[in-house]
Structure 1
C-alpha cells in the first residue's frame, strides 16, 4: 500500500520540524517546504537521508505546485514571534493571506485535507479567561501586533470559506504558547528570552508589573493534539494548549530556580496591546479529540533548558534589547 503524502509548510521552523518528525515516524511521505526566512535547515537535516522525506525551498506566498498525489496539507509557514513579524510585517501578512489562499487552492485541486495553524493571538487582549473558541477576541487591527493577529484571523476566515463554499476538508488549530527544543533563543518570546538571559548572566526582563499570565504547552503535547485534530471530523477552530496558567513574575522565578542564575527580575514598561491573560479553554479538545497535555511544566522546562545549554556558544549570543524587548509574548 502506497504511503500517504503530506505537505508541511514552515517545515524548518520550530513546530514544523517536530511535525515532520512525527509524520515520518507515522510512515507518511513528507514533503517539507520552507523559504527559510525564519526557519533553519538544521532542524530537519537529520531527515534528509530518508527516502520518505523531501524538501522544497519555496515561499508559499507564490504559486505552489506539488506533482502527484497529495493527501494532507499542514500550513505552518508564518513568522510566529514578535521579533520576526515586527521586522517582516508585509511577509507576515502575505503568508497568512496569499500563502493560505495558494494552499487552499492546492488542497481543492488535489482533494487533500488541509489543517491551518492559527493562534491564541486571534483573541487579542481578552476580556474573558480562559478563552473558549466561541470568544471573538479583542484585537487592534492597526496596532503593532495587527500584522500577525489579522493575518491569522483572515487565514481562519478564508479557510472556513473554502470549506463551506468549495467543500474542501479543513481543520483549524488555535495554538497557545508552546515551548521545547528547536525554539530560537533570540525570537523575542518570554520563555527563550528568560532562559537566554539566564545563560548569558543577564537580568531577566519582565514587562509591566509581571501580573500578566501565560500558559505554556510542551511541544510533544501540542504535536499530539494537532495529529488528533487532523484526523478528526471537526472543521471549526480547536484550542490546543496547556491551561496551567502562571504569571510572568512567577514564571521568571521558576526560570531563576531552574537555571541557578544569581540574576534578578527587572521591570520594564508594558508594550502596546500586550495580552494581560492567556489561558486556553480546552473543553473541546478533551471532548472531541480525547486530548489534554501530559508533560508538566517542570519536566518540559528541564528538557528545554538542557537543549538551550547544548547550543554552540556563538548561538547563545547577547541580543540587543532594542531587537527583542518590544514584545514579551
Structure 2
C-alpha cells in the first residue's frame, strides 16, 4: 500500500471516477490534491471530502502546466462521453495530448510515478473479440469520435516515449465502460441515459438495433483495480485492461433498467451514431494474473445501487443539479 501521507495528485478529481479515487486514497492515508476545471466534474462529487485536512482542491485545466510537489499522479482529466468530448473536439484532443505532456513533465521533474487513464476506445470498432492488450485497434482517425479515441492513443504513445527516453515511471490502464453513483446525469452514456429516462417514465432510446454489446464495470471494482496497478513494481507499465468481462446487449441493459425501476417506459429506436462500436468486451487475463483482481459487483447489483442514487437526487432535489435538469428537460 502507499506509505503514510504519500502526496497524490488526481487530475479530473471532481469527476465521476476521480471523486471515488480521491475518497479511496484519503482512506488509505494519502495527502490528496484534486485538480479539476469542472467542465464535466462537479464540486458536489467531492463536497463530503472538503473538511478533510489532507484534501486540497485546485481549479485547473491540465492543458496548462501545474507546479506541485507530489509522489504519485493519476491522470484522469478528460471528458469521457461522446456528448461532452464532441462539444469541443479540439479542446478534447488538447486535454489528452497537452495534458499528458504537462503531467509527464511534472512526473519527470518530481520523479513521481504516474498513471494514465486510457480507454477501451483505443480499440475502436474492434475486429478482435474480446479485446486483449496486444490488439492495436480499428479506429477511424478522422471521424467524429477521433478527438477522444486518437487523443487517448497519442497520450499512450507519449507515456511510453517518456518512459523509454526519460525513465519516467508510468502505468497505463485501458478503462472499459464503468458506471455507478456520481455519473454525470447528462453525459449521454447508456446507463445514466436509461436510468434517467426510466425514472421519468420517458421512452428509452436505443441507437441502432440495440443488439450491439458492451461490458459494464461497477465503479468500486474499477477503482480497486486502478489502485492495485499503481502499487505494482515499476517493471509493470501496461497497458492493462480494466473492466468487467460480462457482455450484454444494449437492449438487455435497457430491459434490466426497466425491470429494476418498475418503469413503464417503452423502447424507441434512433439511428446508430457514426463509428459506434458494435461489440466491446475486455480480456482481463493480465489483470487477474498480475493484480489478483476481478470485478466483484454484478450488473444487477450495480444497477440497483446506481438507480437508488439517481432516484434520491431526483426525488429530494439534493446533490448534482444536472440530475434535476435532466429529468425536467
Q: Relative to 1, partners in 2 of residues 1:252 and 1:2: Cα closer, same or farther, differing over 3 Å?
A: closer
Question: Where does residue 154 of structure 1 map in the other structure?
Answer: 154
Question: Where does residue 303 of structure 1 map in the other structure?
Answer: 305
Say whether the 8 Å CA contact 1:178–1:217 is kept in structure 2.
yes
Aligned match for 2:248, one of 228, 246, 249: 246
What pairs with 1:47-196 in structure 2 (closer than 5 Å)? 47-66=49-68, 68=69, 70-196=70-196
* 2-structure distance, mates of 1:184, 1:298: 20
Q: How many residues align?
A: 319
| SS of alignment partner, residue 87 of structure 1 | coil
- Partner deviation per Cα, 1:110-155 (whole Å, 9 max, x = no partner): 0000000000000000001110000000000110000000010000
Question: Where does residue 269 of structure 2 map in the other structure?
Answer: 267
* 2-structure distance, mates of 1:263, 1:50: 42
| SS of alignment partner, residue 142 of structure 1 | coil
Q: CA RMSD in A?
A: 1.4
Instruction: List 4+ stretches of structure 1 deviating above 2 A.
Output: 312-321
Q: Relative to 1, partners in 2 of residues 1:320 and 1:172: Cα closer, same or farther, differing over 3 Å?
A: farther
Q: Relative to 1, partners in 2 of residues 1:320 and 1:270: Cα closer, same or farther, differing over 3 Å?
A: farther
* 1-structure distance, mates of 2:50, 2:324: 26
- 1:14 Cα offset (Å): 0.2
Say whether the 8 Å CA contact 1:200–1:316 is kept in structure 2.
no
Q: What TM-score do you get using the length of structure 1 for normalisation?
A: 0.95
- Structure 2 gap segments, 5+ residues each: none
- Structure 1 gap segments, 5+ residues each: 322-329
Question: Where does residue 198 of structure 1 map in the other structure?
Answer: 198
* 2-structure distance, mates of 1:155, 1:174: 12
Is 1:33 the counterpart of 2:41? The answer is: no
* 2-structure distance, mates of 1:32, 1:123: 29
| SS of alignment partner, residue 58 of structure 2 | strand
- 1:318 Cα offset (Å): 4.3
| SS of alignment partner, residue 226 of structure 1 | helix
Is 1:19 the counterpart of 2:21? The answer is: yes
Say whether the 8 Å CA contact 1:176–1:240 is kept in structure 2.
yes
Aligned match for 1:258, one of 257, 260, 271: 260
Say whether the 8 Å CA contact 2:4–2:30 is kept in structure 1.
no
| SS of alignment partner, residue 324 of structure 2 | coil
* 2-structure distance, mates of 1:161, 1:101: 11
Q: Relative to 1, partners in 2 of residues 1:142 and 1:51: Cα closer, same or farther, differing over 3 Å?
A: same
- Partner deviation per Cα, 1:55-109 (whole Å, 9 max, x = no partner): 111111011111x4x1100000000011101112122111101111001000000
Aligned match for 2:325, one of 307, 317, 324: 317
- Partner deviation per Cα, 1:275-327 (whole Å, 9 max, x = no partner): 00010000000011110000111111100000000114563334799xxxxxx
* 2-structure distance, mates of 1:63, 1:185: 30
